[in-house]
Chains A and B, each alone.
Chain A
Amino acid sequence: MKSILHVIEYDFRNFFRYRWFIIALIAMNLADLFISAIVFTQMTRGIVDYFRFFAPGLAVLGLFASAFMIGREINMEVRREIHHYLLSLPMARTELAIGRVLAGGLRGMLYMTPLLLTNFVILGFPTVPQLLIILLTLFLLAIGISGISISIAVSTTSFEKFVTARGVVYYLFFFCSSVFYPMVIIQTLETKGLAPLVKFAQINPLTNGSDLIRSFLLGAPEFSSFMLLDVAVFSAVFAFCATFAYTKILMRQ
């Protein structure tokens, strides 16, 4: 456990080295909420209060982007062979891998906290049990995102390939989810022959993460245990994939 904590500490120190990137990310998130969402609210009158709808989506968006950052660092380490140094540390490889996955998730949670607090201020505070469920879900989501990011990072040999794969994952997960628009609107794509995308949006953990927050803060959609289950399965699968892939890559040489 102590070794894992050291790895987490190492990754947190690295996280703050990217402060400029984080500031730009915050600016983008706030601009999304306080400019785009406010204007879209005018355009969606009578259908949805877009500002209130989008606020939980924004917290999940921020969580995704920041938890994904760990992959960028790990890809760089693999390319520059810094992992030789990491292998020389007195800890098991599995501890190192688990530490990295957890650190990625925790960094996402740290970044997302002010966005979630903004949500509470705008939409109202949840009850204590609701808050605990929200935090648990978001933590699981962050772990899964960190896992998917690490899996891609260790499977791609160049930064460009990593960036491209990241782009595909980002856009698929962002735009095919209820982060930006209600599920009922996405379902209209079915009539255009895009049923697989609708299906993906329904099981997308970003959809279930943001809808879970909405269910407690906005009262709609209704909370279902599927939301939590979906995120938990996503988290378990990708945390395992990342640990396995990371350990394998480290043992390659």
Chain B
Amino acid sequence: MGLKKIRFVVERDLRMFMQYKFMLVMRGIWFVSQVALFGLIVNKMVEVAAREANINYFQYYVAGVTIITLYSISMFIGYDIFEEAEHGVFEYLLTLPVSRRELVLGRSIGGGLRSFIYIGPLLIVVLSLLGVSNPFHFLVALASLFLFAFGVAGMSITIAVAMKSGDKYDILIGVLDALIVRLSTTMYPSVYMQQAAPTYATIARFNPLTYASDLLRWGTGIEGTLQVSPFVGVLALFIFFFSFTFVGVVFYERRLEGGSWQ
């Protein structure tokens, strides 16, 4: 397997990503409005509860919104795969002097990497709001966010290649997005999910967004948010990353053979 060839595939995905400049600007506007409007106002609304739970809700929410943005950008790669199938670009990709495995692995890496490049400037804004109390914790959190981004890209590829219709992909991603974000601790602490409906809290415990957002909070020193030890959190994200990268690669590789995407 040639690293150089994988690098070419990754580079292509990064270039493609830059074509979505308006979409990226829109996600940026969404992020800013979530932080500067929704976050600030809801912070006022829940300040009594936040005091009881010993958290600063604004900081809590900013970290959560960062993870939601990272998640949604990482999911983009699936749309690219559908676009390519629809416009006959798959055939072109198969004629390239790159093995199937290199192509698939490159796409998975590209999918995760580009979301990280996008989140970079936002992360600087977030860090200026939250600060970093322990650089080592932050580096661990950053590494776990890499695992999370690659895992989500793998999940997106897996879903995209498992679906034959762009419509079905769209709805599944829409529904998944609606549930996976809301049933996680990105927006609210699990103690309130437990009070609202224990089922929600139970589902949140198996949600990678929960681990990613809790680890980012822990990494930036936001107190009282980590439900499990950081080691367990990193391990959970590693399992998520490994499962979906592996499954995504195998699925995509199989689908490339025999024109089954058509």
Residues of chain B within 8 A (CB-CB) of A44 are: 45-46, 49
Segment touching A, from B163-171, B213-221, B239-247: B163-171
Residue pair A171, B33 in contact (C-beta under 8 Å): yes
CA distance A164 to B48 in the complex (A): 36
Residue from B21, B174, B182 within 8 A of A24 (CB atoms): B174
Within 8 A of B (CB), among A97-149: none
Nearest residue (CB) in B for A23 is B171
Q: Is the CB of A27 within 8 A of B174?
A: yes
Known: A20-B171, A160-B21, A164-B25. A180 touches B40 (CB 8 A): no
Q: Are A42 and B196 in contact, CB atoms less than 8 angstroms apart?
A: yes
B187 at the A interface (CB under 8 A): yes
Stretch at the interface among A7-15, A28-36, A69-77: A28-36
**When the two chains form their complex, are residues A43 and B40 in contact, meaning their CB atoms are under 8 A apart?**
no
Q: 8 Å CB contacts to B: which residues of A139-196?
A: 158, 160-161, 163-164, 167-168, 171-172, 175-176, 180-182, 185-186, 188-189, 192
A163 with B22, Cβ < 8 A, contacts A35-B200, A197-B37 known: yes
Please tell me if the beta carbons of B178 and A189 are within 8 angstroms of each other in the complex.
Answer: no
Q: Could you tell me if B22 and A39 are in contact, using CB atoms closer than 8 angstroms? A: no
**B197 at interface, CB cutoff 8 A:** yes
Look across to chain B and name the residue whose beta carbon is closest to the beta carbon of A29: B178
Give the size of the chain B interface in residues (CB under 8 angstroms): 41
In the assembled complex, how far is the CB of residue A170 from the closest CB belonging to chain B, in whole angstroms?
9
Is the pair B42, A180 in contact by a Cβ cutoff of 8 Å?
yes
Q: Specify which of B20, B22, B38, B182 is in contact with A175 (CB 8 Å cutoff).
A: B38
A185-B200 in contact given A42-B195, A164-B25 (Cβ < 8 Å) = no
Known: A31-B179, A161-B22, A163-B23. A41 touches B196 (CB 8 A): yes
Q: Do residues A42 and B49 form an inter-chain contact, with CB atoms below 8 A?
A: yes
The reply to whether the CB of A1 lies closer than 8 angstroms to some CB of chain B is no
Interface residues as binary, A35-79 with B (CB distance below 8 Å gives 1, 0 otherwise): 110111111111110000000000000000000000000000000
Q: A160-B23, A189-B41 are in contact. Are A24 and B175 (CB under 8 A)?
A: yes
Q: Are A171 and B175 in contact (CB under 8 A)?
A: no
Q: Which residues of B contact A23 (CB under 8 A)?
A: 171, 174-175
Q: Is the C-beta of B232 less than 8 angstroms from some C-beta in chain A?
A: no
- Tell me, yes or no, whether A250 is within 8 Å of chain B by CB: no
Interface residues on A, range: 35 or more
- B148 CB, min distance to chain A CBs, angstroms: 21
Chain B 118-133 near chain A by CB (<8 Å), digits 1 or 0:
0000000000000000
B residues less than 8 Å from A35 (CB atoms): 179, 182-183, 200
Mask of B1-39 contacts with A, CB within 8 angstroms, 1/0: 000000000000000000011110110011001100110
On chain A, the residues within 8 Å of B22 by CB distance are 158, 160-161, 163-164
Chain A residues with Cβ under 8 A from B42's Cβ?
Answer: 40, 180-181
Q: Give the contacts of B186-210 with A (CB-CB under 8 A).
A: 187-188, 192-193, 195-197, 200
The chain A residues found within 8 Å of chain B, CB to CB, are 20-21, 23-25, 27-28, 30-32, 35-36, 38-48, 158, 160-161, 163-164, 167-168, 171-172, 175-176, 180-182, 185-186, 188-189, 192, 197
B→A interface (CB under 8 Å): 20-23, 25-26, 29-30, 33-34, 37-38, 40-42, 44-46, 48-50, 167-168, 170-171, 173-175, 177-179, 182-183, 187-188, 192-193, 195-197, 200
Which 4 A-B pairs give the minimum distances between C-beta atoms?
A24-B174, A160-B22, A175-B37, A171-B33
